[in-house]
């Protein structure tokens, strides 16, 4: 096992870069200061999530001592360290073909759903003044902004007085048609164009608005790590966690999103897509 000795003043991202540069097979983070340890651990995981070709274990001193001594750690490590052990096992082969599969899947979805999308567009035009499509800037992979497309399910001036607010379960601001569209996730269909443009994936974390990202990253450790993968039309958090609009809900959903980022695979995507179909057919939308 190769090693790196760094000065305490070394920047976390400098150490992450060194680990990649020297092809580290293993890393042990032994920083006593809590703040520095958290920054360093986040930087290392961020690099691992973005550079999937090189995946190496990152352990806490306790985990390393237990491993080298051939002992089983009886106490579970803090949640942060759980992200750095062998549970991090994305399928690198699948990551190479995932963009192509996303494109093909989005194209097939558009061809199948085109008549439904035309009917929804006409219904919106006839029942509510304003544009058919709703465009909003969201945060995508690597923190880059992109314009998300949805069918409009609310009045055009819904946030004129309140400003940006989370959309809650059974949002009363939705139009009568909008309630139906959201119930069966039909408002999400135009996001196939985001997938075709390479801005989104079929499966991934839900893309969030910049104002909420800035707010949540100050409150939730590692929140920005969700941006290491492309956001998705659907995802584990969307189908396995009840819809919520609070910091607590964001924390819970982040657990699903980081689990997905650590274990990206065809099987996991397939599971999320199958679950999405059952959620849509059952009308358990927002």
Residue span of the structural domain in which 26 resides: 12-82
Cα–Cα distance between 7 and 31 in angstroms, integer?
10
pLDDT in tens, 227-279: 888 999 999 888 887 666 677 777 888 888 888 888 888 988 999 999 999 88
SS3 233: strand
Note whether 80 and 41 are within 8 A (CB).
yes
Is residue 2, in this structure, part of any structural domain at all? no
Judge if 135 and 161 occupy the same domain.
yes
Compute CA distances 280 → 186, 283, 284, whole Å.
9, 5, 6
Q: Which burial class, exposed, middle or buried, applies to 286 when counting CB atoms under 10 A from its CB (0-12, 13-18, 19+)?
A: buried
- Residue 42, C-beta contacts closer than 8 angstroms, at least 6 positions apart: 12, 221, 222, 225
Are residues 39 and 97 both part of a single domain?
no
Claim to verify: residue 103 and residue 78 sit in the same structural domain? no
Residues 156 and 73 in one domain: no
My answer on whether 97 and 196 are in the same domain is yes
**Does residue 177 sit in the same domain as residue 217?**
yes
Q: Are 155 and 252 within one domain? A: yes
Let me know whether 41 and 101 are in one domain.
no
pLDDT tier, 19 (very low <50, low <70, confident <90, very high otherwise): low
Q: Which of 240, 201, 203, 205 minimizes the C-alpha distance to 222?
A: 205
Q: Are residues 78 and 104 in the same domain?
A: no
Residue 253 within any structural domain of the chain: yes
Residues 32 and 98 grouped into a single domain: no
Contacts of 240 (CB under 8 A, 6+ apart): 256, 275
% of the chain with per-residue pLDDT over 70: 60
Say if 286 falls within a structural domain: no
Nearest to 213 by CA among 162, 158, 141: 141
Residue 3 lies in a domain: no
Q: What is the DSSP string of 122-153?
A: HHHHHHSSS-SEEEEEEE-GGG-EEEEEEE--
Residue 85's φ and ψ, nearest 5 degrees, are: -85, -160
Number of domains in the chain: 2
Same domain membership, residue 208 and residue 162: yes
Q: Indicate if 162 and 236 belong to the same structural domain.
A: yes
Highest mean pLDDT among 7-16, 20-29, 227-236: 227-236
Eight-class DSSP state of 5: -
Instruction: Supply the pLDDT for residue 198.
Output: 95
In the prediction, which pLDDT does 94 show? 86
Whether residue 129 lies inside any domain: the answer is yes
């Amino acid at each position: 096992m190769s090693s790196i000795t760094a000065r305490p003043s070394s920047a976390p991202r400098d150490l992450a870069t060194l680990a990649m540069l020297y092809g580290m097979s293993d890393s042990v983070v032994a920083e006593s200061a809590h703040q520095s340890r958290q920054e360093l651990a986040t930087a290392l995981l961020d690099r691992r999530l973005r550079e999937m070709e090189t995946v190496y274990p990152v352990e806490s001193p306790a985990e390393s001592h237990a491993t080298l001594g051939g002992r089983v750690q009886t106490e579970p490590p803090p949640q942060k360290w759980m992200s750095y052990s062998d549970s991090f096992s994305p399928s690198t082969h699948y990551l190479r073909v995932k963009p192509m599969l996303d494109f093909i899947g989005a194209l097939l979805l558009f061809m199948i759903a085109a008549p439904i999308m035309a009917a929804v567009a006409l219904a919106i035009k006839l029942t509510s003044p304003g544009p058919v499509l709703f465009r909003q800037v969201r945060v995508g992979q690597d923190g880059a902004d992109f314009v998300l497309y949805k069918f409009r399910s609310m009045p055009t001036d819904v946030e004129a007085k309140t400003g940006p607010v989370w959309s809650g379960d059974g949002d009363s601001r939705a139009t009568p048609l909008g309630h139906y569209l959201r119930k069966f996730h039909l408002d999400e269909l135009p996001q196939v164009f985001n997938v075709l443009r390479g801005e989104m994936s079929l499966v991934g974390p839900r893309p969030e608005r910049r104002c909420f990202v800035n707010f949540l990253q100050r409150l939730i450790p590692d929140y920005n790590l969700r941006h290491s993968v492309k956001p998705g039309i659907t995802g584990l958090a969307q189908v396995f966690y009840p819809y919520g609009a609070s910091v607590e809900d964001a924390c819970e959903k982040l657990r699903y999103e980081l689990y997905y980022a650590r274990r990206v695979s065809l099987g996991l995507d397939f599971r999320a897509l199958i679950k999405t179909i059952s959620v849509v057919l059952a009308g358990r939308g927002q």
